[in-house]
A and B are shown apart, each in its own frame.
Chain A
Amino acid sequence: MDLVFSQEDLDFQEEIRSFLTSEYPLDIKERQDNRLPFEPEDVIKWQKILAKKGWFAINWPKKNGGTDWSPTKKYILQNELAVANTPIIIPFGVSMCGPVVYTFGTDTQKRQHLPGILNSDVWWCQGYSEPGSGSDLASLQTKAKLQGDNYIVNGTKSWTTLAQHADWIFCLVRTETTNIKQEGISFLLLDMKSPGVEVKPIITIDGSHEVNTVHFDNVKVPTENLVGVEGQGWKIAKFLLRHERTGIAGIAALKRELKRLKEICANVILGEGSLLDDPSYRRKLEAAEIELKATEFTELRTLSQISSGGAPGPESSILKIKGTELQQTISELFIEMLAYYSHPFFNETELGSNEAVGPDYAGAAMPHYLNFRKVSIYGGSNEIQRNVIAKAILGL
């Protein structure tokens, strides 16, 4: 047991830092540091910069354009990027669709789709959830009926993140109605420009447009866009769930935000001292820090398990739960720190200007707090994750 990085790891860390100094565009950095709303162009630009360096699809196998890095090396890169607050990589292509295509896809599919994902030329979105099928995903009802060389797709997907920017969507659809709901589901790749696809925005409580409803009205999908075997889509869905387990807790980002919060608090005047001198607030900050340390080391333990050959098990549900709870706690502590200055809010009405009222870090805090209620709901709600732990780990 030891906690030290090797010299090689440290050199790599240094390499990343100097890369960031020279390659991280200043305009993007400024928007990121000011917590301005997400710009798709920024993310694409940044993903392309990473790809050029070979640091984008790091989890992919080398032969598909990825790396053969150790988990530690991947960890170091993700950590450094988060510390620098670079844009969050959109996972739908590189972390979700890509791995499915190189694992289950035909050679033609690989040739058609992998380069677009690697180069961030094609924006993907995830069409799993439906109005009637959220936690119970396998009950999904979107139908695909075989008709000659095409599937005819009808149905509705909901909560589709950033579908308004998407070129393609990967979907779970029902190709057959069977007694066991997990059967008869297929995995389809669908061009968003196909006739019959309609995207409608869903505005969330923070006033942003991040999710959508996607309607399919007799959409023709060529059969060559089926991934894997017809009716075996659930297997792929489960593969995807198991994939990309590390980094799920977003530890580095949490550390960065907690550090930032502490720095701000030190400058929030309270009587003779600062907010950091307020014992009740301070206690909450420290408690979050301890919980974060614990989560960090739970993640590191999981990581070392992978590097010694083991596969991450349902233990990653711990990381999802603890990571998202911490994200919510920290967003809450920002609100508490701001007190009344968390209330000004321009997202919902067109009345005001978008300037911050109060300190310049105030404007983003409330939208962020509201937006982050989602993290305990999506990606398998925290209730569902607890069910997983109860069943798969505790054997209940």
Chain B
Amino acid sequence: MDFSFNEEQTLIQRQVAQFIQRDYEWEKRQALAKSELGFSSENWKIFADLGWLGISLSEESGGFGGSALETMIIMEEFGKGLVVEPFLETIVLCAGLIDSCGNKDQKSEILKKVISGEMHLALGFVEPQSRFNLADVITEAKKKGDGFVLNGFKSVVMNGPSANNIIISARISGKQSEEEGISLFVVDPKLEGVSLRNYPTVDGRRASEITLENVDVSSSCLLAEEGKGFKELEKAIDSATLAICAEAIGAMEVLYKTTVEYTKIRKQFGQAIGKFQVLQHRMVDMFMEYEQSKSLLYMATIKQAEKAEDSKKAISGLKYQVGKAAKFIGQQAVQLHGGMGVTDELNVGHFFKRLTTIITIFGNTDYHLKRYSQL
């Protein structure tokens, strides 16, 4: 048994950690989150130049053939810096999906540009009524000549505003919540009939409401086999769930450590508040929640990298734990900072906010506990 990274992985970790420390100071991050775009194109270019964008994509698609492990390493470090660049959306979620089920043309056309940093992607998989059920799809695709016509609505599409292509799940047959009959389409948002309403989200990122009204797409936009998109969608969401858990764990590490440090310095009643046993136990619990999450992260990531049979179940178990830990650590970090914890100025509140959205994204604790028990 071995939980250590190999040489290459260690190198990547150091590289990302260094970038966060040197080039991603808190003030810069805040300025990016408040900017029109919501992140930095220059940073994105750096990610491309350093080879991070293609690291986990197959060699056949122009990537470096890494696995879930490399993604985990990058995302955990990103979590520590609360990175707003849409690595999760463009790379893990969408490029991963195309890498897994796209045809040759799609891979060469799209992924090449993604890896070189010229293209952003987003995935429209949520609808107003769907909550966390990926199979609950009302958006419909109808055959028309050689291509398809899309009609429907996708909500809270993360990174929607920057995406040059948006992958849309649409129903070509079957009932509203059937897994069978779901197709995936790569849709250019500039196409006629596609309209986006863009907005910021509470974690400083960007998302869109997307309306599709008689959107004509050609057959070359179909991703995966017609009507068989669900399995691929589920796989992509699982990979992204792993990645977002890694991000959460990076963020939790910063939060519990920041809190411990603060309580050593902050004095009330003539002593450091960290001396109060009730706060010590609280922080011990925060620390343990973090460690438990990290253990499940390693377990689930190894299973995923090895394509183990029970990796889905492992991921749901992980997301359940991370959701629970993220809430506890986030809320307690704020609480133990007292009034300072609720200020916009301190980074604590912003880590708390990102952890709050992560709890929901790709399914909350209730959802994953249920899925765990059903798998």
Question: Which residues from chain A sit less than 8 Å from chain B, CB to CB?
Answer: 129, 132-136, 139, 158-159, 202-205, 207, 211, 269-271, 278, 280-281, 335-336, 339-346, 348-349, 351-352, 357-359, 366, 369-371, 373-374, 376-378, 381-383, 386
Q: Known: A336-B364, A341-B155. Is A346-B199 also a contact (CB below 8 A)?
A: yes
Measured in the bound complex, the distance between the Cα atoms of B357 and A349 in whole Å is 17
Closest A residue to B339 by beta carbon equals A159
Q: Which residues of B contact A341 (CB under 8 A)?
A: 128, 155-156
In the assembled complex, the CB of A269 is this many whole angstroms from the nearest CB of chain B, namely 5
Measured in the bound complex, the distance between the Cα atoms of B335 and A336 in whole Å is 21
Measured in the bound complex, the distance between the Cα atoms of B278 and A45 in whole Å is 44
Measured in the bound complex, the distance between the Cα atoms of B177 and A341 in whole Å is 20
Known: A343-B202, A348-B200. 8 other contacts (CB 8 A): A205-B344, A271-B136, A340-B360, A343-B201, A345-B201, A349-B33, A366-B356, A383-B278
Q: Known: A346-B199, A348-B200. Is A374-B342 also a contact (CB below 8 A)?
A: yes
When the two chains form their complex, are residues B360 and A207 in contact, meaning their CB atoms are under 8 A apart? Answer: no
When the two chains form their complex, are residues A346 and B331 in contact, meaning their CB atoms are under 8 A apart? Answer: no
Q: Known: A344-B156, A357-B199. Is A339-B131 also a contact (CB below 8 A)?
A: yes
Measured in the bound complex, the distance between the Cα atoms of B203 and A129 in whole Å is 30
Does B79 count as interface, using CB distance less than 8 angstroms?
A: no
Closest A residue to B127 by beta carbon equals A340
Q: Could you write out 16 A-B pairs with CB less than 8 Å apart?
A: A133-B268, A134-B268, A135-B338, A202-B343, A202-B345, A203-B345, A204-B343, A205-B353, A207-B344, A340-B360, A342-B202, A344-B201, A357-B199, A369-B356, A373-B334, A373-B342
Measured in the bound complex, the distance between the Cα atoms of B362 and A176 in whole Å is 59
Q: Which residues of B contact A381 (CB under 8 A)?
A: 335, 338
When the two chains form their complex, are residues A204 and B342 in contact, meaning their CB atoms are under 8 A apart? Answer: yes
Does B370 count as interface, using CB distance less than 8 angstroms?
A: yes
- List the 9 shortest-distance A-B pairs measured between CB atoms, nearest first: A205-B349, A345-B202, A136-B268, A340-B156, A280-B366, A203-B344, A343-B201, A352-B199, A136-B269
User: Which of B177, B339, B350 lies in contact with A377, CB distance below 8 A?
Assistant: B339
In the assembled complex, the CB of B71 is this many whole angstroms from the nearest CB of chain A, namely 23
Closest A residue to B279 by beta carbon equals A383
Q: Known: A202-B343, A203-B343, A204-B343. Is A386-B278 also a contact (CB below 8 A)?
A: yes
Q: Which residues of A contact B356 (CB under 8 A)?
A: 335, 366, 369
Classify chain B's interface size.
Answer: 35 or more
Does B251 count as interface, using CB distance less than 8 angstroms?
A: no
When the two chains form their complex, are residues A343 and B156 in contact, meaning their CB atoms are under 8 A apart? Answer: yes
Interface residues of B in 165-217 (CB under 8 A from A): 177, 197-204, 207, 209
When the two chains form their complex, are residues B331 and A366 in contact, meaning their CB atoms are under 8 A apart? Answer: no
In the assembled complex, the CB of B262 is this many whole angstroms from the nearest CB of chain A, namely 13
In the assembled complex, the CB of A205 is this many whole angstroms from the nearest CB of chain B, namely 4
Q: Which residues of B contact A159 (CB under 8 A)?
A: 339
Does B36 count as interface, using CB distance less than 8 angstroms?
A: yes
In the assembled complex, the CB of A384 is this many whole angstroms from the nearest CB of chain B, namely 10
Measured in the bound complex, the distance between the Cα atoms of B198 and A346 in whole Å is 11
Measured in the bound complex, the distance between the Cα atoms of B33 and A359 in whole Å is 25
When the two chains form their complex, are residues A271 and B177 in contact, meaning their CB atoms are under 8 A apart? Answer: yes
In the assembled complex, the CB of A302 is this many whole angstroms from the nearest CB of chain B, namely 25
Measured in the bound complex, the distance between the Cα atoms of B131 and A269 in whole Å is 9
When the two chains form their complex, are residues A339 and B128 in contact, meaning their CB atoms are under 8 A apart? Answer: no
Q: Known: A207-B344, A341-B156, A352-B199. Is A281-B366 also a contact (CB below 8 A)?
A: yes
Measured in the bound complex, the distance between the Cα atoms of B281 and A254 in whole Å is 30
Q: Which residues of B contact A386 (CB under 8 A)?
A: 278
- The DSSP consensus for interface residues of chain B is mixed
Does B104 count as interface, using CB distance less than 8 angstroms?
A: no
In the assembled complex, the CB of B327 is this many whole angstroms from the nearest CB of chain A, namely 8
Measured in the bound complex, the distance between the Cα atoms of B272 and A136 in whole Å is 12
Q: Which residues of B contact A344 (CB under 8 A)?
A: 156, 199-202, 207
Q: Which residues of B contact A278 (CB under 8 A)?
A: 366
When the two chains form their complex, are residues B200 and A352 in contact, meaning their CB atoms are under 8 A apart? Answer: yes
Q: Which residues of A contact B126 (CB under 8 A)?
A: 340
Does B100 count as interface, using CB distance less than 8 angstroms?
A: no
Q: Which residues of A contact B177 (CB under 8 A)?
A: 271
Does B311 count as interface, using CB distance less than 8 angstroms?
A: no
Q: Which residues of B contact A357 (CB under 8 A)?
A: 155-156, 197, 199, 209
Q: Which residues of A contact B335 (CB under 8 A)?
A: 373, 376-377, 381-382
Measured in the bound complex, the distance between the Cα atoms of B360 and A369 in whole Å is 14
Residue among B132, B342, B352, B357 with the most chain A CB within 10 A?
Answer: B342
Does B12 count as interface, using CB distance less than 8 angstroms?
A: no
Q: Which residues of A contact B344 (CB under 8 A)?
A: 203-205, 207, 348
Q: Which residues of B contact A348 (CB under 8 A)?
A: 33-34, 200, 202, 204, 344
Does B317 count as interface, using CB distance less than 8 angstroms?
A: no
Q: Which residues of A contact B132 (CB under 8 A)?
A: 339
Q: Which residues of B contact A129 (CB under 8 A)?
A: 339
Does B119 count as interface, using CB distance less than 8 angstroms?
A: no
Measured in the bound complex, the distance between the Cα atoms of B331 and A341 in whole Å is 20
Q: Which residues of B contact A336 (CB under 8 A)?
A: 360, 364, 366
Q: Which residues of A contact B345 (CB under 8 A)?
A: 202-203
When the two chains form their complex, are residues B360 and A134 in contact, meaning their CB atoms are under 8 A apart? Answer: no
In the assembled complex, the CB of A264 is this many whole angstroms from the nearest CB of chain B, namely 14
Q: Which residues of B contact A205 (CB under 8 A)?
A: 334, 342-344, 349-350, 352-353
When the two chains form their complex, are residues B155 and A378 in contact, meaning their CB atoms are under 8 A apart? Answer: no
